[in-house]
Structure 1
């Protein structure tokens, strides 16, 4: 569990710079320059991600269970997680109504993804990992409203169509085998 917690601290810590101190982030960005800042940020995020993945695998092998989710909650996860995929894809598509309305689709997508997993899993490792991501996403999403709104162009249906289609295709790929291959558990079981 220790490696998982350190990984979460590094990964989410790097992603919390704006939450903790926007002026501090701006000062470091000025001092390092954009390329060195992004490079350092990326290396730290990658280290954190590797520790999260490795630590999660170790923690799952020796974990206990904090609660037994009701089956209906697992079914709810099958709605929340595909919705999260749609939001994450919307982050990278041309501006549609989804992106413009949500403002920060990636962060809201992480919140729905982690909430869905919390509802479907009661193991200690899952609660620690998905709980940390959920709390971070909620705090970051709320904090984002204190910053200037991202500059989006006029919404186009193309952005929404690509986000929905891409999110549903990615969800289908995960549901039909990729999740089982990566994690060892089928969400449909």
Structure 2
């Protein structure tokens, strides 16, 4: 469980540097340059993600259950994951209505993903992991809203509704692949087993 906690703190900490330590981030960029910062950030993200995944795998084997979700929660979770996949794909494409209306579709995708998994998983390790990611999403969304109000960032302008169609189609395909086999291959649990 310790590795999971350390992994969560480090991974989410790396992804909250701009929010929590903006001066530190600026000083690193000043000394390493923008490319150097991006390289260091990418390496730290990958390393802490590996630690997080390993820690979660270890914690799953030894932690108990905090609650047993009702069977019907799995259906809600699977449906929420479809929405999360569509939002995730929309965040990676030029802006359509989905991206402009949700403002930060990737952050929304992570929050929906975390909530969906909290509804379906009552193990201590899962609750810890998904609660941390949900909290991270809320903190980041608040920060992005403040930065937008301060004029530090601007929202992506609407490009075309065709990107909404692409996001929906690609999101459904990715979601179907995850439900069909990818979740089981990567995580070891089929979301369809109730």
Report the TM-score when normalising by structure 1: 0.95
- Number of positions where the alignment pairs a residue of Structure 1 with one of Structure 2: 189
Kindly provide the CA deviation profile for residues 135-181 of structure 1, in whole angstroms up to 9, marking residues without a partner as x.
Answer: 11111112210012434233311211111111111100000011111
Equivalent residue runs for 1:14-163 within 5 Å:
14-148=14-148, 149-163=153-167
Distance in 2 of aligned mates of 1:106 and 1:153: 16
Distance in 2 of aligned mates of 1:21 and 1:157: 37
Q: Is the 8 A contact 1:179 1:187 kept in 2?
A: yes
- State the 4+ residue runs in structure 1 displaced beyond 3 angstroms: 21-24
Q: Which moved more, 1:3-12 or 1:151-160?
A: 151-160
Report the TM-score when normalising by structure 2: 0.92
What residue number does 1:175 align with? 179
What residue number does 1:6 align with? 6
Kindly provide the CA deviation profile for residues 62-87 of structure 1, in whole angstroms up to 9, marking residues without a partner as x.
Answer: 12000001122221111111111111
Q: Is the 8 A contact 1:17 1:25 kept in 2?
A: yes
Q: Structure 1 regions of 5+ residues with no counterpart?
A: none
Distance in 1 of aligned mates of 2:49 and 2:181: 22
Q: Structure 2 regions of 5+ residues with no counterpart?
A: none
